[in-house]
């Protein structure tokens, strides 16, 4: 994974949240995780779901997510969330609910 941890040694972070922020701030990372929420998706279907992502960026992000143990790949099935990836999406549920309320508030009457 092309993160600071690869350059700075085994664990340059004082806490897990900084490691997570470092991973999640990369473009398309959260979108890819979100698109895997319903089960395995093959590469082409995932690329289509993430409409603007190039195949090279998608490959890099998937490699990073596999290295972080949030995503796994099974031949014939495609990419899916690991137990850690599923826990992450469960932890994001309050954010998903907040985002829905916020989006509604942005609509002009």
Domains of the chain: which residue ranges? 4-106
Angle subtended at Cα 100 by Cα 54 and Cα 59, rounded to the nearest 5 degrees: 15
Q: Which CATH architecture has domain 4-106?
A: Orthogonal Bundle (1.10)
Report the pLDDT value the prediction gives residue 35, as an integer from 0 to 100: 96
Using CA atoms, how far residue 92 sits from 5, 6, 31, 85, 102, in Å, is: 24, 27, 13, 11, 15
- pTM listed for this prediction: 0.79
Taking 70 as the threshold, does the pLDDT of residue 5 lie above it?
A: no
pLDDT at residue 10 greater than cutoff 80: no
Q: CA angle, corner 19, sides to 15 and 72, nearest 5?
A: 130
pLDDT tens for each residue of 29-63:
999 999 999 999 999 999 999 988 999 999 999 99
Max CA pair span of the chain: 53
| Dist CA 71 CA 78 (whole Å) | 10
């Amino acid at each position: 994974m092309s993160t600071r941890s690869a350059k700075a040694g085994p664990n340059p972070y004082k806490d897990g949240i900084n490691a997570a922020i470092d991973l999640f701030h990369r473009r398309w990372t959260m979108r890819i995780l979100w698109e895997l929420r319903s089960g395995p998706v093959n590469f082409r279907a995932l690329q289509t779901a993430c409409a603007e992502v190039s195949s090279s960026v998608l490959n890099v992000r998937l490699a990073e997510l596999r290295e972080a143990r949030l995503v796994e790949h099974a031949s014939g099935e495609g990419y899916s969330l690991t137990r850690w990836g599923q826990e992450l999406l469960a932890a994001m549920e309050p954010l998903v609910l907040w985002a829905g309320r916020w989006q509604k508030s942005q609509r002009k009457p």
